Structures are given as C-alpha cells and as structure tokens.
Structure 1
C-alpha cells in the first residue's frame, strides 16, 4: 500500500493502485479479488480489469445421472467436469434419486 496523506496528516489516505490513476483517496476500496487498493472510480472488478474477478462467484453444476445440484465457487468449465467426475467416483451419485418426468396436469398419471 502506497503512503499518502497531506502535510498535516501524512498517514491519511492511500493512492489508487490502478496504473493510469494514482489518485490520493481518503476512503479507498480494497478489492476482494486481487487485494489492491482503488479509488471510487476503479473499485469495481471490471473498471480495474481484476484478474481474479470470479474468485467469489457461486455456480451450481447439475449431475446428469442423479440430478443432484453441486455448488461450486470460482471455478471454470474444466473444474466443473472434474467436480462431476469426483461426484460419480466417490459414490455420491445415485441414479435412483433422479426425478422422473411427470405431467403438469394435476392427478395425471401419464408421463
């Protein structure tokens, strides 16, 4: 964190760590992805092109075999495939749990 402030208060505020900005900000924002400090204008992931913008995103992968929802955080498509493989490999996948399609009409027995 770069030192900032004024002559009267040398420890007050920090400079924005965006490469084109370096603005002294008295209420800086710390990015939860890259852990750098930014001003109001560059605080969003998109505005400072954060390399870890998906670090805290939550996604759900649905198993095709048993229809179980598996929550994932901050992973890519390749990681999702590995998660599904682990799900099947460790015996968490039960094909009998898969919901069978039913008719939307009340009390209808047809599929």
Structure 2
C-alpha cells in the first residue's frame, strides 16, 4: 500500500529522490532529501541570509557589518579608527617614559632595570639608555675581579709560574717531613738496644 501524500521529491535536479521524511531549507524554503539538505550540498543561493556571522568590536562591543569576501580584521580596524564610540584615552594609558616619545600602549611594559614604563619600541634597556644598566656596568668594571686580587700586578704567565713554584716547594717540604719522621722512627730502637747492651756488660763485670 502506497502513501503518496507522506513524502516529496528532492528539489536537487540531479537527485529528484522521493523521500518520506523530506526537509525544507530555512534559507531558500525548497524541499530536499537528507543527503542534499545542507547549504553546501544543494548550493543554496540564499545561504548568505542565514549562514553569516558579524564580528563585534572588541572595544565598544558593537557589531561591525562585513561584506562577503572581506577580512573581518579590516572592517573592525576601520570601525575602531573612524566609528568606534569608546574612549581610547582611557584604554591606551601606558605612556612611554622616554623623553620625546608620545606613544602609549594597551598594557604596561616595564624595564627590568629601572622599573619604568616604555612602549614596545623602547622596552629594552639599550633602547632607552637605561641609567640603572649603565650604573651596573660601571660597578662591574670598577670592582676588581677575584683573579686580579690574587695575581696583583703579575701577568698570567708570571702568576702561573709562581703557583707552580709554590706547589713544588710544598711538595718538597712534605717529602722532607716524611723522610725525617721515618729516620726518627728507625733510630730510636737502636738507642734502646745500645743501652741494654751496656747494662749487660756492667753486670758481667761485677
């Protein structure tokens, strides 16, 4: 038994399939089967009315109309420059501390040496002639290094020769101390034995 009133043919010309559960496109309002229901499958000419997203301005929150094929970044940028109602002076409050630079940044950018705020262009210590960095370099150059304290006015070769000579001297002194200690240990028993022999001789004579 057939129920012709329950289904409809797909509007896609290449399909024309009879579907018992047809679906109507919400853009062009034509009937399609489940296979050709999406905008892309039946090349819907009215899809732009539904499948369309409008970017919003990040500053004021207003929607920014963007034509098809145009980058949203471009339209949002134009909106911020020309039509945005937000107070930009309250947003870009981080002024560069370098004399003569009037640029402001959205976020604070502080120097790690002097802790002052600068723009992205002058954020490095060398870009804004940081006084604290120059003072730190001067202190490092003025303070004598450990090597200079040890060497004094000697050159590296003289200091090396002096160190070798002291090392050899300490080695010789250690060798002499060991030799004297061994000599003392070997001579003490001999003296004891000699005293014993003399006492024996004295006993025999008596």
Q: TM-score, normalised by structure 2?
A: 0.35
Ranges in structure 1 where 5+ consecutive residues have no aligned partner: 1-6
Q: Distance in 1 between matches of 2:48 and 2:62?
A: 18
Q: How many residues end up aligned between the 2 structures?
A: 91
User: Greater CA deviation, 51-60 or 29-38?
Assistant: 51-60
Pairing 1:62–2:62 present: no
TM-score (norm 1): 0.60
Displacement over 6 Å in runs of 4+: none
**Counterpart secondary structure, 1:59:** coil
Deviations 1:47-67 (A, max 9, x none): 10011222222221427xxx2
Q: Does 1:40 align with 2:24?
A: no
In 2, the alpha carbon distance for the partners of 1:109 and 1:32 equals 58
Q: 5+ residue gaps in structure 2?
A: 93-105, 120-206
Deviation at 1:28, TM superposition (A): 1.1
- Quick one: structure 1 residues 96 and 72, their matched pair in 2 at CA, closer, same or farther if it must change by over 3 Å? closer
Instruction: Please say which of residues 93-102 and 28-37 is displaced more in the overlay.
Output: 93-102
Q: Let me know the Cα RMSD of the aligned residues.
A: 3.4
Secondary structure at 1:54's aligned position in 2? helix
Report what 2:87 is aligned to.
95
Displacement of 1:109? 7.4
State how far apart, in whole Å, the 2-side matches of 1:16 and 1:53 are.
Answer: 18
CA distance in 2, matches of 1:26, 1:15: 9
Give matches, 1:19-34, under 5 Å.
19-34=13-28
Greater gyration radius: 2
Point out the structure with the larger strand share. Answer: 1
Identify which range, 7-16 or 26-35, moves more after superposition.
7-16
**Which fold has the larger relative contact order, with Cα–Cα distance below 8 Å and residues 6 or more apart in sequence?**
1
Structure with greater helix percent: 2
